[in-house]
Chain A
Amino acid sequence: MTSPSSWDRFRTVTRARIGLERSGDSLATKDLLEFQVAHAAARDAVHGCVDFDVLETALTPLGPVVRVHNTASDRTAYLRRPDLGRRLDEPSRIGLAAHASPVSWDVVFVIADGLSAVAVNDHAVPFLCACLPLLSGWSRAPFVLAEQGRVALVDEIGAILNARLSVILIGERPGLSVANSLGLYLTWGPKLGRKDAERNCISNIHADGLSYDQAAAKLVWLLTQSAGLGLSGVALKDNSGPPELPKPVRTEIA
């Protein structure tokens, strides 16, 4: 068997599972089970629940909170039918309309579980605590907590509330190395039918990725630029600001 030692010099530059031993042609028992530990964590992140009651309690000191739902009946329906996660149910629409601003809010923050409940449980509140002090001059709509929401749900929420900008905090699809990565999507002029190319994304907020302060600084920069230019998405990215995060070539479906 190959001793792992010859691969040690690479451990600091990659998290790839290099240098695994062989039992015949197969993985050694230790590596086989380590893989299953990581996969189980990712699966539980996908199928776990955000504790929205705890979240509401934690957010209340920062501002009013509204809860909304969509028409996906359960997790299976949510995973199979992304379209259901992009539209509010009727009671949510009515409840939200009561919070619409006659002049328009500068920004609305939406929090949705997305594909990783644990990402939202771990990072949503501390991120907002880092970000909100940087937005002191902005009028903020109530926080909207969206169970089983997809990114595009912000279009309907933002339109009903009459918000100029929307930001959604959402759990990203878990990988084996990180199961609790939080993503942010910013959309100028949220309304039904916005395309993904019209949003800006900040991804990889987790212990080994972007810190809360880094992500908050980047978001506030994007919000300021977006409000100034009156647009978001690909056109905004072209104006170089903070370093862009690398984008995979095979695009992920949000």
Chain B
Amino acid sequence: MTRYTHVLGNRTYEFQDLKSVLACASSRRSGDELAGIAAASDQQRIAARLVLADLPLTVFLNDALIPYETDDVTRLILDSHDRAAFAPIAAFTVGDLRDWLLSYEADVSALSRLAAGLTPEMVAGVSKIMRNQDLINVASKCRVVTAFRSTIGLAGRLSCRLQPNHPTDDPVGILASALDGLRFGIGDAVIGINPASDSVSDCVRLLHMLDGLCRRFDIPTQSCVLAHVTTSLTAIEQGAPVDLVFQSIAGSQAANDGFGVSLAMLTEAHQAAQSLKRGTVGQNVMYFETGQGSALSADAHHGVDQQTMEARAYAVARAFDPLLVNSVVGFIGPEYLYDAKQIIRAGLEDHFCGKLLGLPMGVDVCYTNHAEADQDDMDTLMTVLGVAGVNFLIAVPGADDVMLNYQSLAYHDVLGLRHQLGLKPAPEFEVWLDKMGMLDRQGRLPPLSDSSAPMRLLMGGQP
């Protein structure tokens, strides 16, 4: 039964349901084509956008894309929807919402009051009728501040995850990459390792190593070993120094099943990590990673386009007051995001949707070697995200992750971006860098010689 139609020129375009309108309205991407749900032509895509722009926002509350009865993410979205926060825009269409978001009236406080009234489907829908510049503009007006040992997301700040991965979790190899990052002022969002093995003993060993590093230099940041949530829970039970609990999440119950995770498990982990009270300036203890295409790759997308599925994952994140959330945008490969154009667009959409929903959104600006992208494209995405006010980026030595075999940003890149845009690290971390003698009079972090006091200190010599 045809539910939505639009006449464009002499042709009538028909869309069988709401999720088909959303899928066809999405910017072109290989994952939706792989799923067989993308627009078949450019004109069909625009017809879908014209339909979408005229839909009332309430349609997303009344017509669930994935059934309420069978999907706990849908239940979470609808049961936690804040009608009072939604009231000011209750009469809007999707097009009205775009116009309002871009208006001067939609300032930082109006946007933060609205967050709980928005659902993932509303923000994914409106993003599909926004240009990249719109996504940058609106996201830059959102402010989401979280804290643990450092405060992340304040105006004029750009934080960064230091990712010192090693293919066999060699502690000295990891330490080398971590020290290297510190000399660039990287690590104020988190020092976070993707472990090569998911064993509890390996995880605990790495947690003690990172905790020792932060204690040795008195670094005001948090550490994380990005193991499965159940591994972190066991580590907590064993008394390991767990700052943040990590988990990969997705936008449907079936996709989360694929990750071996449930909402109940996340609730338990959230409570366990909070009970340790290890934060000094805040108690946001969760760290989530997401990425467009993960639901499709788990065969759990229910015919919903990958960008909308991604926004639904943010509803899961939102329920646990995370310190950090980032999309690993280009990691998944060209069958989901084919080239730099698709990766850049997806990175901006993910940041925009996360911020509007009230998440402390970061992005792993990255690509694999079989995607049509290179470091020039990462420069572009990093810079536009900096302008859009991204909470944090991710960096590895020389942009080359030797464990996961993909390219992210180099420490150099994030430091350069901070200087270019006049952005500072988290305030507590900035004070630490200054105490270490790493900042110049303008507050920049200049190249440090081997014989400089901070380098001798970091590398184990005497100052």
Using a CB–CB distance below 8 Å, which chain A residues touch chain B?
1-3, 5-7, 10, 13-22, 24-27, 31, 35, 38-39, 42-43, 45-46, 79-83, 115, 173-177, 246-250, 253
Distance in Å: Cβ of B373 to nearest Cβ of chain A:
10
Residue of A nearest to B374 (CB): A39
Residues of B379-429 at the interface with A, using a CB-CB cut-off of 8 Å, are 396-400, 402-407, 410, 412, 415-416, 419-420
Report the bound CA distance from A10 to B90 in whole Å. 59
Q: Which of A1, A17, A21 has the most CB of B within 10 A?
A: A17
Note all chain B residues with C-beta closer than 8 A to A42. 369
| Max chain A Cβ within 10 angstroms of own Cβ: one of B368, B370, B374, B403 | B370
B61 contacts partner chain A, Cβ-Cβ < 8 Å? no
Contact partners of A19 in chain B: CB under 8 A: 180
Q: Does B375 contact A (CB under 8 A)?
A: yes
Known: A80-B335, A253-B335. A6 touches B398 (CB 8 A): no
Partner of A35, one of B198, B248, B375: B375
Which residues from chain B contact A2 at a C-beta distance below 8 Å?
183, 447-450, 455
Complex-state Cα separation, A24 to B183, whole angstroms: 14
- A253 / chain B contacts, CB cutoff of 8 Å: 297, 332-333, 335
CA distance A173 to B370 in the complex (A): 7
B263 CB, min distance to chain A CBs, angstroms? 20
Taking CB as reference atom, which chain B residue is nearest A178?
B405
Inter-chain CA distance A10–B183, complex, in Å, is 16
Q: Which chain A positions have C-beta within 8 A of B329?
A: none
Residue contact B412 to A14, C-beta cutoff 8 Å: no
Q: Which residues of A contact B420 (CB under 8 A)?
A: 25
Determine whether the beta carbon of A35 is less than 8 Å from that of B399. yes
A199 to B234, CA, bound (A): 28
User: Cα distance A6–B456 when bound, in Å?
Assistant: 9
Q: In chain A, what residue has the closest Cβ to B175?
A: A10
Judge if B177 is at the interface, Cβ distance under 8 Å: yes
Q: B447 touching A16 by the CB < 8 A rule?
A: no
Segment at the A interface, from B12-20, B127-135, B164-172, B435-443? B164-172
Whether B194 sits at the interface, judged by CB under 8 Å, is yes
CB-CB under 8 A from A83, the residues of chain B are 34
Give chain B's interface secondary structure class: loop
Structural contact, A26 and B177, CB atoms closer than 8 A: no
Q: Which residues of chain B from 163 to 195 have a CB within 8 Å of any chain A CB? A: 164-170, 172-174, 176-177, 180, 183, 194-195
| CB <8 Å contact, B398 and A35 | yes
Residues of chain A within 8 A (CB-CB) of B228 are: 249
Assuming A2-B447, A13-B173, A13-B176, what are 6 further A-B pairs, CB within 8 angstroms?
A7-B180, A20-B412, A26-B412, A27-B412, A246-B197, A250-B328
Closest 9 CB pairs of A and B: A17-B398, A175-B405, A14-B173, A246-B196, A25-B416, A10-B176, A42-B369, A13-B173, A18-B180
Number of residue pairs spanning A and B whose beta carbons lie under 8 angstroms apart? 157
A14, B170: Cβ atoms closer than 8 Å: yes
- In the assembled complex, the CB of B110 is this many whole angstroms from the nearest CB of chain A, namely 36
- Please report the C-alpha to C-alpha distance between residue A101 and residue B196 in the assembled complex, in whole angstroms: 41
Please report the C-alpha to C-alpha distance between residue A173 and residue B397 in the assembled complex, in whole angstroms: 20
The yes or no answer to B33 lying at the interface (CB within 8 A) is: yes
Distance in angstroms from A92 CB to nearest chain B CB is: 22
A16 to B169, CA, bound (A): 12
Minimum C-beta distance from A81 to chain B (A): 6
CA distance A2 to B459 in the complex (A): 12
Is B226 at the interface (CB under 8 A from chain A)? yes
Chain A CB within 8 A of B148 CB? no
- Name 16 interchain pairs, CB-CB below 8 A, sorted by A: A2-B183, A2-B450, A3-B449, A6-B455, A16-B177, A16-B400, A22-B447, A35-B399, A35-B400, A83-B34, A174-B405, A246-B167, A248-B403, A249-B198, A249-B226, A253-B297
**Which of A6, A10, A21, A25: most chain B CB closer than 10 A?**
A25
Which of B198, B297, B402, B410 is within 8 Å of A14, CB to CB?
B402
Bound together, the chains give a CA A79 to CA B402 distance in angstroms of: 23
| Best-buried of B227, B334, B397, B405 by chain A (most CB within 10 Å) | B405
Residues of B contacting A81 with CB < 8 Å?
33-34, 335
Size of the B side of the interface (Cβ < 8 Å), in residues, is 63
Q: Nearest-CB distance from B308 to chain A (Å)? A: 20
User: Which one of B194, B335, B404 has the highest number of Cβ atoms from chain A below 10 Å of its Cβ?
Assistant: B335
Q: Is A80 a contact partner of B34 (Cβ separation < 8 A)?
A: yes
Q: A13-B170, A250-B328, A253-B297 are in contact. Are A80 and B177 (CB under 8 A)?
A: no
- CB of B314 within 8 A of chain A? no
Contact with A along B348-388 (1 / 0, CB 8 A): 00000000000000000000111000110000000000000
Q: How far is the CB of B396 from chain A (nearest CB, A)?
A: 7
**For the complex, is B338 an interface residue (Cβ under 8 Å from A)?**
yes
**In the complex, what's the smallest C-beta–C-beta distance from B213 to chain A, in angstroms?**
14
Verify B398–A175 contact, CB threshold 8 A.
Answer: no
Nearest residue, chain A, Cβ from B181: A18
Given A16-B173, A115-B370, A246-B167, CB of A38 within 8 Å of CB of B400: yes
Given the known interface contacts A14-B402, A16-B173, A16-B402, the answer about A247 and B198 at a Cβ–Cβ threshold of 8 Å is yes
* Chain A nearest CB, measured from B431 CB (Å): 22
B30: interface (CB < 8 Å): yes
Residues of A near B287 (CB, < 8 A) are: none
A80 to B447, CA, bound (A): 42
B202 (CB) vs chain A CBs: closest residue: A246
Known: A14-B173, A80-B33, A246-B169. Contact between A27 and B398, CB under 8 A? yes
Distance in angstroms between the alpha carbons of A38 and B420 in the assembled complex: 28
Q: Are A17 and B400 interface neighbours, CB within 8 A?
A: yes
Q: Pick the contact of A26 from B416, B448, B455 — CB < 8 Å?
A: B416
Tell me which of A16, A174, A248 contacts B369 (CB under 8 A): A174
Q: Contact check: which of B170, B227, B332, B406 meets A175 at CB < 8 Å? A: B406
Hey, which chain A residues are within 8 Å of B400, CB to CB?
16-17, 35, 38, 175-177
> B288 at the A/B interface (Cβ < 8 Å)?
no
Known: A16-B402, A19-B180, A253-B297. A10 touches B34 (CB 8 A): no
**Cα-based distance from A111 to B260 in the complex (angstroms):** 32
B185 CB to closest chain A CB (Å) equals 11
Interface centre among A2, A5, A24, A26 (most CB of B within 10 A): A2
Cβ of A240 to closest chain B Cβ, rounded Å: 12
